[in-house]
Amino acid sequence: MEKKPVVLINSPSLAAKEKHYERPRYPRLSLAYLAGYLRSQGIDCLALDAKYEGTALQELIQQVDRVQPEIVGLTAMTPEINETVETAEALKKAFPGVRLVIGGPHVTALPEETLGEFPVFDCGVIGEGELAMAQLARGGDDVQTIPGIVYRRSGSVCVTDSAQPVLDLDAITHPAWDLFSPSKVYPIIATRGCPFNCNFCMRVSGKKVRWRSPGHIVAEIENLIDSYSVERIVFHDETFGLDKQWAHRLLDLMIAKKFPEKITWEATTRVDIADFDLYCKMKEAGCAWLAFGIESGNPEILKNTRKGITLEQAEHAVRLARKAKLSLGSLFIIGHPNETRQTIEDTIAFAARLPTETVSCGLMVPYPGTEVAGIVKRGEGNYRVLSHDWRDFNKQVGNVLEFQGIPRKDLEFYQLKLYLSFYLRYFRWRKIKAIVEIIGVKALFAGAFLIIRQALVKFWKGGSTVNTQPQQ
């Protein structure tokens, strides 16, 4: 009997959320990687990214109906798990015999809890999914022999032995982008894993860092240029340039291939590995934007994040990168454990005076699998929990946490104040549009009014004003 295709799904957006997740610029990278690997193993596969394609639920059901699969794999980050469940329930109703497999960060962080909370899923894949999904697709009915699986047996939820990470990333086939509508922007991941210990982060690919070879990455970029006329590449690595020798080899190849004449690219890195020569070569290789995760402008709060960086390192890294003529972004979080109004104001002031071109500020979310989630669960950090609904676990428009002395609406005001303080300070009016898309026009004007009123009160009381000259 001919084996039916495996269908992989990123569920449609069923409610308004942060725009980045509701209609992303490019298809889901994990879906494309998984599809590519399954096909390399001789397994027929159909990948449907309903968010990227803008596909409605009923249209998605019709697409699945055309192939009548035996296995459907769905992926979900924590804020998406509820809508993924709705999609799974619709699939189960339409195709009662289908095996529904859940993968992604949420089930990786909470494997037993996910299957316990959502009975629609038959099993789940924990962590990197290529090897486990291939075994399931080959007819692995005895799931208890497959590493990295959470499954049901006799009314109980069970977890198999942990799967070993893929050590040779070059052995994983390039993502199957041909299964999706073309884009002008595509993501690439050059490494997997993160060795650092930030208390707000869940390391879905583990702590062991594994590198693809520069030649393998360059071949992927060449294919994107030749097949899709790509204009921009987004490196999804946790820390670009962690291994400087490897990074120089990659950049040298990109320059030799004349990529800067064809594409631009962006990446995220850490301030404690700042290197002027590397920044110069990144600029030469076509880097159009480099983001630094800084997280807080208060030294003590920053220390307690366990990120292992200092504000002095942040200023130094930005200074070097600006000297290399890179366009820069800074990333912050408001709502770290035991934050006060003063520590939040410190973050706003630091972000506003840091001379980057863009800034992003999220409100703390206790994502499953993070140390912050444990702090919240233990009743520490001076937090007050507002919601246990996974749909609220969104760093821009969610509603999960507040502090005992700082209500949620004040945290949202501080978030808005950081955005406006940064963008109005450097007169980057075009960037205000991005804030409007996140919070809405009314909230923008209300926040601006409050900030102006606060400044006038401070002025009339004789308070000092903040220096508005960007640092060099």
Fold for 6-159, please state it. Rossmann fold (3.40.50)
pLDDT of residue 15: 63
Structure-token pair, residue 105: 């960060």
pTM of full prediction above 0.75? yes
Structure-token pair, residue 271: 């301030």
Per DSSP, 194 falls in state: -
Q: Which amino acid is at 84?
A: T
pLDDT of residue 171: 94
Cα angle at 322 between 317 and 326, to 5 degrees? 105
pLDDT of residue 429: 56
Q: pLDDT tens digits for the chain (472 residues)?
A: 467 899 999 999 876 454 444 679 999 999 999 999 999 999 999 999 999 999 999 999 999 999 999 999 999 999 999 999 999 999 999 999 999 999 999 999 999 999 999 999 999 999 999 999 999 999 866 888 999 999 999 889 999 999 989 999 999 999 999 999 999 999 999 999 999 999 999 999 999 999 999 999 999 999 999 999 999 999 999 999 999 999 999 999 999 999 999 999 999 999 999 999 999 999 999 999 999 999 999 999 999 999 999 999 999 999 999 999 999 999 999 999 999 999 999 999 999 999 999 999 999 999 999 999 999 999 999 999 999 999 999 988 889 999 999 999 999 999 999 999 998 876 655 566 555 555 555 555 555 656 655 555 554 555 433 332 222 2
β 45-49/210-211 pair status: unpaired
Structure-token pair, residue 210: 């594994």
CATH of span 184-460: 3.20.20.70
Strand ranges in 228-386 using DSSP code E only, listed in sequence order: 232-235, 264-269, 287-295, 328-334, 358-363, 383-385
pLDDT of residue 472: 26
Count other Cβ atoms within 10 Å, centred on residue 149.
Answer: 24
Phi, then psi, of 153 in degrees rounded to 5: -155, 120
pLDDT of residue 431: 60
β 71-75/99-103 pair status: parallel
CA distance 164 to 148: 8
Count other Cβ atoms within 10 Å, centred on residue 290.
Answer: 26
pLDDT of residue 467: 31
Q: Is 384 helix (H, G, I), strand (E, B) or coil?
A: strand
The answer to whether 274 and 320 are in contact (CB under 8 A) is yes
pLDDT of residue 465: 34
Q: Minimal CA–CA distance to 177: which of 243, 248, 226, 235?
A: 226
The answer to whether 106 and 76 are in contact (CB under 8 A) is yes
Domains of the chain, residue spans: 6-159, 184-460
pLDDT of residue 3: 75
Q: Is 192 helix (H, G, I), strand (E, B) or coil?
A: strand
pLDDT of residue 135: 94
pLDDT of residue 252: 98
Same fold, 6-159 and 184-460: no
Count other Cβ atoms within 10 Å, centred on residue 190.
Answer: 21
